[in-house]
Amino acid sequence: MRKVLVTGATGAIGEACVRAFADAGYYVYIHYRSQEAKAQSMLESIQNGEIVYCDVRDGESVKSAFGELDLDVLVNNAGITKDNLFFWMKDEEWTDVIDTNLNGMYRVTKAVVEKMIVKKNCAIVNVSSVSGIAGNPGQTNYSTTKGGIIAFTKALALELGRYKIRVNCVAPGLIESEMTESLPLKELKKGIPLRRIGKPEDVSEVVLFLADKASYITAETINISGGMVR
């Protein structure tokens, strides 16, 4: 049975990824940080898996949680926003977002990649954002991490291709979730060619495709924004 780790599995996109991989027959490691009960109830609703705690800002926590996992697929999905105009941005708003989104992805990938190299035929999918492609006012910290994730994906894909490990990225636009619930979505919809906000499943189906089906795609970023960012 193929095994996948989904980080940030208790969030909207993470949960959709858990369900997509479970439906595809995977054993799913459901990673959580503060929402153990949600992770546990998700586990009860899928066939095979387990819940795993760690804070991706803490290197030791990441190593002890993930260091022994024998994965076929890693989905680096955990992430936060702390928006502010750059002029007003506090140091901790900058460093928290960098440490969670960018350093967190580094720590998780570092913890699992050696076993993937030995195993071969694995896949990594990183969750970026259109904010990392086009930029977004109020998100210099977040855009920096999401652009960095795209660059990281390309460089790592070039290193790992020889081991038949594919590394790809998705760049969602506006997706229904806690991250977007306070935004004026009615207004924002008008700027989306498909005229709707994305659903978490719009993202998870592409994540599953990249991990499980797209055998000749690597170092790629797929934009999932209803055409909002081209």
Least gap, CB of 118 to ligand NAP (angstroms): 26
| Closer of 10 and 218 to ligand NAP (Cβ) | 10
27 is catalytic: no
| Closer of 76 and 218 to ligand NAP (Cβ) | 76
From candidates 2, 24, 46, 55, binder to ligand NAP by CB under 6 A: 55
Cα–Cα distance measured from residue 209 to residue 214, given in angstroms and rounded to the nearest whole number: 6
Show the binding pattern over residues 4-33: x = contacts ligand NAP (CB under 6 A), - = does not.
----x-xxxxx------------------x
Map tokens 């027959």 to a residue. Answer: 25
| Closer of 19 and 33 to ligand NAP (Cβ) | 33
Site for ligand NAP contains 77 (CB under 6 A): yes
Site for ligand NAP in 162-191 (CB under 6 A): 172, 174-175, 177-180
* Catalytic residue set: 142
Which residues lie near ligand NAP (CB under 6 A)? 8, 10-14, 33-35, 55-57, 77-80, 100, 127, 129, 172, 174-175, 177-180
